Amino acid sequence: MPKQPIVERIKNFNEVALGFEPDQAIMEASRCLQCQDPQCRRGCPVGINITSFCGYVREGNFDKAISVIRESNSLPAICGRVCPQESQCEAYCAMGQTGSPLAIGALERFLADYELKKGITMPSIAPITGKKVAVIGSGPAGLTVAGDLAKLGHIVSIFEALHTPGGVLAYGIPEFRLPKSIVAAEVDYVKRLGAKLETNMVIGKIFTIDELVEMGYQAIFLGTGAGSPYFLSISGENLNGVYSANEFLTRCNLMKSYLFPEYDTPLIVGKEVVVIGGGNVTMDSARTALRLGVEKVHVVYRRSEQEMPARREEVLNAKDEGILFNFLTYPLRLIGNSRGWVEKVECGMMELCEPDETGRRRPVPIPNHSFTIDAQTVIIAIGQGPNPLLSKVTKDLETDRDGRFIADEWGRTSKRGIWSGGDVATGWADATVINAMGTGKRAASSIHQFLTTGQW
Amino acid sequence: MYQIVAEIELAPNIKQFRINAPLIAKKCMPGQFIVLRTNEKGERIPLTVFEKDPGEGTITIIFQEVGKTTKELGRLRTGEAIQDVVGPLGTPSEIRNYGQVVAIAGGTAAAVAYPEIKALKLVGNKLITILGARSKDLLILEEEMRKYSDELYITTDDGSKGHHGFVTDVLKKLVADGKKIDMVLAIGPAIMMKVASEITRPFNIRTIVSVNPIMLDATGMCGVCRVRVNNEMKLGCVDGPEFDGHLVDFDQLMARQNMYTEKEKESLHAYEAKMKK
């Protein structure tokens, strides 16, 4: 797929990947083997009929192609951009065994963008059932549930704590990977399906779950995500200039700090930045910092490149853009100056030993081996857990050790009438947008069954 | 959008807005706050709910115009609207009968202390209130405080009214005089809360402070408001804003409060230049 040239893109927040032109899309779709027993579809958490839409693209029938995608996926412009296709649909593509797999994500994105440009055709919506559903959180899981249930004629209200909907799509994933206009358009689509969206509503504070039940919501879906950042618990962590990735990205993406002082929210980045972690959030933070005019951005990751959970494509983009990688390295402490600002990161080295329970080789510190990296800004991107706000006030909802709501394969929690999905629910080690949507899809079908049959 | 239904200027650059926000008015408890954003390009700032009127569906905030956002907010008039108001946020204060309470409030933080002072009085506490400001004309809420206090002391930094000095001077004297004190509530600038906590520490008097770190989302998802309390990391927005003053690392709180001082000036200058045009 064509991309913005490196020298230009590191100076702006515009989208890096530019997307297919129609003839490129047709050419790419023509490579699809139209397998009799397509494996690609199994690799898609929401089960898009990939061979079918590729067949239509090959014929140049983009309208029909996007309608095939829309049957399974309410947010194709987002998924086509941020899904880790290399470990999902594209990993199962037969073409991949001998050469490069079909660029399924790029084709999905092409179709979604094509449709957004010409105006989305709304699907038929079932007659109003009169059943009320509350969806807590407007991230990918919540939007999927809301869209699916609104289509089925239920009265859906989405409650969002922030002032802008989209969850991680709005505050986490940067503009250069996922333009916010695309997120707004996809949210608008869900609203046009009939779902009502209320922002500035912190559920647990403004209403409890029990109050929502009293208000007549017959089903409630909790899709509140994993928005509570983990910190390192090392010395110097509270120095000025030390950010959680959530804070750093929220300032940039949601509050548009990169346009300060036109926008009011400030952000301070030094000449040298260290980002700690190895996931997509690490890559997003590092590449965002770079675009703020930073001289050097270092990534500090305790395992080797191979174990990085970040998308391969984004790691390569980061490398192309000049991000410096320190593998098998971990922070020992953050060192500050006399004014309380961070100045250096003292790092230790690791070596890899036998695999742990996640199957990745466990890093073990090498004793007496440390060095420092100069950094006036440190971004901690070592993961996040669920926000305990809701579980704290909902006593009869079971959670696991990490505070995730315990949910079965249909998203049903320990409390009748309450479902959960996405990053806040158990069972999803792979915290991706598409998996959140997958859990949302199953929860929506389970909720629909409950609302129509009363069966739990 | 959240409409302003009434405005009062309490003192130079200190304003009181009554805002239409029925759900928050119904739910808000003493010690809790809201976050607001004036417009699409605005930042999110935390402000305490001074009063609520669930019947009318309104909440009241008091703010001092100190920087860009509060100045811009202060230009809004009755009938105009604030883009976003979210709340109630934070953990409510622990309101119970402690016995004899000394409440000290400095500057505009009087508006933060007031709902708690009122609630403490209504559950039967004896209230000694020490209300301070830089000077007489910046003193707010004197009558309201008097209504809910058994004793009221006024202090001004410049001596233009009441005791010439700080609120903590009066606290120090009360403690030194051996006054029976079961709880101290100290709300104001971090340095004042630090000094108050140091005064009560040797006497082991329970001291509650309301921390005021920088906040962003204020729902626990970013950690900018992190405060070291008893050597543990706590979030001002969800675990607080009230903590045991003897356990708070005030020096760190103050260092972190100053993180954006330069940027704040830059933002204000840009705004003032724009307004002059």
**Tokens 């500035």 appear where?**
A200
B267 interaction partners in chain A (CB closer than 8 Å): 260-261, 264, 266
Distance from CA of A77 to the nearest CA of B (A): 25
| CB-neighbour burial class of residue B77 (10 A; exposed 0-12, middle 13-18, buried 19+) | exposed
Edge-first strand listing for the sheet containing B100-106: B163-164, B151-156, B126-133, B100-106, B183-187, B207-210, B242-244
pLDDT-derived band at A342, boundaries 50, 70, 90: very high
pLDDT in tens, A194-243: 999 999 999 999 999 999 999 999 999 999 999 999 999 999 999 999 99
Residues 179-218 in B contacting A (C-alpha not used; CB under 8 Å): 216-217
Residue A453 scores a pLDDT above 80 = yes
pLDDT-derived band at A374, boundaries 50, 70, 90: very high
**Cross-chain residue pair B87–A202, CB shorter than 8 Å:** yes
pLDDT in tens, A44-63: 988 999 999 999 999 999 99
CB-CB contact of A22 with A107 (8 Å): no
- Contact with chain A for residue B275, Cβ under 8 A: no
Distance from CA of B255 to the nearest CA of A (A): 6
pLDDT in tens, A63-91: 999 999 988 888 899 999 988 888 889 99
* pLDDT for the residue A45: 85
Task: Choose the closest CB to A202 out of B69, B219, B264.
Answer: B219
Cα distances from B145 to residues A129, A165, B6, B131, B154, in angstroms, run 54, 41, 21, 8, 10
pLDDT higher for A427 or B101?
B101
This model of the complex carries an ipTM of: 0.95
Q: What is the mean pLDDT of residues A236-253?
A: 97
Question: A261 to chain B: nearest residue by CA?
Answer: B267
Q: Which residues of A touch B (CB under 8 A)?
A: 161-163, 199-202, 205-207, 227-229, 231, 233, 237-238, 240-241, 243-244, 246-247, 250-251, 255-256, 260-268, 339-340, 387-389
Strand spans (E) along B98-173 = 100-106, 126-133, 151-156, 163-164
pTM: 0.94
Question: B38 to chain A: nearest residue by CA?
Answer: A264
**Cross-chain residue pair B258–A162, CB shorter than 8 Å:** no
Structure tokens at A170: 């709005």
**Cross-chain residue pair A199–B84, CB shorter than 8 Å:** yes
Residue A440 scores a pLDDT above 80 = yes
Structure tokens at B277: 């045009």
* pLDDT for the residue A428: 59
Q: What is the mean pLDDT of residues B263-267?
A: 93
**Cross-chain residue pair B255–A240, CB shorter than 8 Å:** yes
**Cross-chain residue pair B87–A206, CB shorter than 8 Å:** yes
CB-CB contact of B209 with B197 (8 Å): yes
**Cross-chain residue pair A238–B85, CB shorter than 8 Å:** no
Task: Choose the closest CB to A389 out of B41, B219, B226.
Answer: B219
Q: What percent of chain A has pLDDT over 70?
A: 99
* pLDDT for the residue B234: 96
Q: What percent of chain A has pLDDT over 90?
A: 80
pLDDT in tens, A135-186: 999 999 999 999 999 999 999 999 999 999 999 999 999 999 999 999 999 9
pLDDT in tens, A266-323: 999 999 999 999 999 999 999 999 999 999 999 999 999 998 989 888 999 999 999 9
Residue A427 scores a pLDDT above 70 = no
**Cross-chain residue pair B222–A244, CB shorter than 8 Å:** yes
Q: Minimal CA–CA distance to B172: which of B147, B146, B142, B195?
A: B195
- How many beta-carbon pairs under 8 angstroms link A with B? 113
Task: Choose the closest CB to A206 out of B27, B220, B259.
Answer: B27
**Cross-chain residue pair A240–B258, CB shorter than 8 Å:** yes
Residue A430 scores a pLDDT above 80 = no
Residue A341 scores a pLDDT above 60 = yes
Q: What is the mean pLDDT of residues A421-428?
A: 83
- Contact with chain A for residue B264, Cβ under 8 A: yes
Determine the Cα–Cα distance for residues A426 and A428; give it in Å rounded to an integer: 6
Q: What is the mean pLDDT of residues B75-81?
A: 96
**Cross-chain residue pair B43–A388, CB shorter than 8 Å:** no
* pLDDT for the residue A247: 97
Please report, for chain A, how many H helices and E strands are present, in that order: 15, 15
**Cross-chain residue pair A266–B267, CB shorter than 8 Å:** yes
Task: Choose the closest CB to B219 out of A161, A199, A240.
Answer: A161
CB-CB contact of A154 with A133 (8 Å): yes
Cα distances from A270 to residues A242, A326, A374, A379, in angstroms, run 11, 19, 10, 12
A262 interaction partners in chain B (CB closer than 8 Å): 41
| CB-neighbour burial class of residue A356 (10 A; exposed 0-12, middle 13-18, buried 19+) | exposed
Determine the Cα–Cα distance for residues A187 and A166; give it in Å rounded to an integer: 7
- Contact with chain A for residue B87, Cβ under 8 A: yes
Question: B25 to chain A: nearest residue by CA?
Answer: A206
| Ordered alpha helix ranges (H), A152-295 | 168-171, 180-192, 209-214, 245-249, 280-291
